[in-house]
Amino acid sequence: MEALVIGAGMAGLAAARVLRASGRETVVVDKGRGVGGRMASRRIANAVFDHGAQFFTARDPGFHRSVESWLGAGAAREWCRGFGGAQDGHPRWRGTPSMTAVPKALAEGLDVRTERRVLSIVRGRGEDTWLARFDDGEPIRARSIIMTPPVPQSLAILAAGETEVDPSLHSRLSAIEYERCLAVMAVLDGPSGIPEPGVVRDPGGPIAWIADNAVKGVSPVPAVTIHAHDAFSRESWGGDREAAGRELIRSARRWIGSNVTDFQVHGWRYSKPVGVFEERFCIAGDRPTLILAGDAFAGPRVEGAALSGRAAAEALIGQ
């Protein structure tokens, strides 16, 4: 392959679209069952949840044009222009029918191969290529690689293949930390007490965010997503997830309003980068080219991830 993109989240898909538009043969791989990464949705019976990223904004003109294309294709719609009664006039968009619609739109026409976990990458012997090794035993050889997983995962893949990175660059990358987030998806037997547009932010205690997926327009039946703060998530990470979920539900009782008939808990180990790399991407190797990108590179949001992926692909094309 001319280019291998590791990770089918917003950064990886944005990079692959730029590479494909330039005529480069490109493959995207991801360890998950579908595309999107933290642009994630899940179904429990008839209830539908956005349980990762809840919305996205657009400030960059190029990203705004992408949003306009998703709006035109029916993959996104405006959600609101502020939370908690504070209308600032700045649109917040969501995927439609749920957040995964946006990465699915980005993935259209791309060669995306899911459920493929990269174990390591090594330089090809005697060739100007990389060799990516996978848990299913079938390798991929590529002239260049763009890595978009969370930075600790990318560094672990490089270490597994004994692929060296400049020590000063490695030090900067190793310093990037991420918040963790436990997300509860709770099905209700009636409407919640969450007001329009369906959000309560930082209501106190262990909770950072509560969203009503029905009010938001995602779920046909009452269903809420509860995101825990980093401190609670870390404290509960290795323990009983069901118990942690019940504690979060108790803390949200005032806002839930109705009875919880079913719930599931998902853990986002790399929910949000705390410190970010100053540039949109970094070149970790050349001859052959290896670039790292993602939401930890100059922008810890959906927009930042997409812009990082684009910038990485444009840098690769320009070499």
* pTM for this prediction: 0.95
Q: How far apart are CA 293 and CA 200, in angstroms?
A: 32
- Name the pLDDT band for 10 (thresholds 50, 70, 90): very high
Q: Output the pLDDT for position 214.
A: 98
Rounded average pLDDT over 223-242: 98
User: Residue 319 pLDDT > 90, yes or no?
Assistant: no
- Name the pLDDT band for 126 (thresholds 50, 70, 90): low
Q: What is the DSSP string of the chain?
A: --EEEE--SHHHHHHHHHHHHTT--EEEE-SSSSS-TTS-EEEETTEEEE-S---B---SHHHHHHHHHHHHHTSEEEEEEEETTEEEEEEEEEESSSTTHHHHHHHTTSEEE-S--EEEEEEPTTSS-EEEEETTS--EEESEEEE-S-HHHHHHHHHHTT----HHHHHHHHT--EEEEEEEEEEESS--SPPTTTEEEEEETTEEEEEEHHHHTS-SS-EEEEEE-HHHHHHHTTS-HHHHHHHHHHHTHHHH-S-EEEEEEEEEEEEEESS-BSSSEEEEETTTEEEEESTTBS--SHHHHHHHHHHHHHHHHT-
Which pLDDT tens digit goes with each residue over 250-278?
A: 999 999 999 999 999 999 999 999 989 99
Least confident of 3-7, 17-21, 89-93: 89-93
Answer whether 96's CB lies under 8 Å from 74's CB. yes
The closest alpha carbon to 181, from 301, 243, 272, belongs to: 272
Pairing of strands 207-212, 26-29: unpaired
User: Residue 125 pLDDT > 80, yes or no?
Assistant: no
Rounded average pLDDT over 114-142: 92
Which pLDDT tens digit goes with each residue over 154-212?
A: 999 999 999 999 999 999 999 999 999 999 999 999 999 999 999 999 999 999 999 99
- Name the pLDDT band for 147 (thresholds 50, 70, 90): very high
Rounded average pLDDT over 125-134: 88
Which pLDDT tens digit goes with each residue over 59-109?
A: 999 999 999 999 999 999 999 999 877 778 899 999 999 999 999 999 999
Q: Count the alpha carbons within 13 Å of 4 in the hemisphere toward its beta carbon.
A: 25
Which pLDDT tens digit goes with each residue over 23-50?
A: 999 999 999 999 999 999 999 999 999 9
* Category of 23 on φ-ψ map: left (φ > 0), alpha (ψ -120 to 50) or beta: left
The closest alpha carbon to 46, from 191, 226, 256, 220, belongs to: 220
Q: Output the pLDDT for position 287.
A: 82
Rounded average pLDDT over 303-310: 97
Rounded average pLDDT over 111-139: 92
Residue ranges and CATH numbers for the domains of the chain are 3-40+59-176+275-317 (3.50.50.60), 178-273 (3.90.660.10)
Answer whether 124's CB lies under 8 Å from 131's CB. yes
Q: How far apart are CA 2 and CA 309, in angstroms?
A: 17
